[in-house]
Amino acid sequence: MRLVLAVLLTALGLSAHAAFTLSFEPANPTPADTIVVTIRDSAPTCPQIRARATRFLAPNEIRLEYRRIGDCGFAPFSEAKVNVGPLPAGVYTLALAVDSSDISPPPGPEVTTQVRVTWAGGENGDKPYDSYAGQYLTGQTGEGVFIEQYGEKSFLTFVTYDSGGRPTWLVMTDARWRNNAQRGRYEFAGAVYRATRGPESPPSLTVAPVGSGLWYPADFDTVMLEMTVDGSPTTRTLRRYRF
The more confident residue out of 24 and 12 is 24
Burial of 85 per CB tally in 10 Å (0-12, 13-18, 19+)? buried
When pLDDT is averaged across residues 170-190 and rounded to a whole number, the result is 89
When pLDDT is averaged across residues 210-220 and rounded to a whole number, the result is 90
Instruction: For residues 196 and 243, give the distance between their C-alpha atoms in angstroms, rounded to a whole number.
Output: 29
Whole-angstrom CA distances from 154 to 26, 186, 224 are 30, 14, 14
pLDDT at 45: 56
Whole-model pTM: value is 0.51
Q: What is the mean pLDDT of the chain?
A: 78
pLDDT at 143: 93
* CB neighbours of residue 210 within 10 Å: 19
- Window from 22-36, 40-54, 96-110 with minimum mean pLDDT: 40-54
When pLDDT is averaged across residues 175-188 and rounded to a whole number, the result is 86
Residue 164 pLDDT grade (very low, low, confident, very high; cuts 50, 70, 90)? confident
Instruction: For residues 171 and 195, give the distance between their C-alpha atoms in angstroms, rounded to a whole number.
Output: 7
When pLDDT is averaged across residues 200-216 and rounded to a whole number, the result is 87
What CA dihedral angle connects 24, 29, 32 and 33, to 10 degrees? Answer: -30
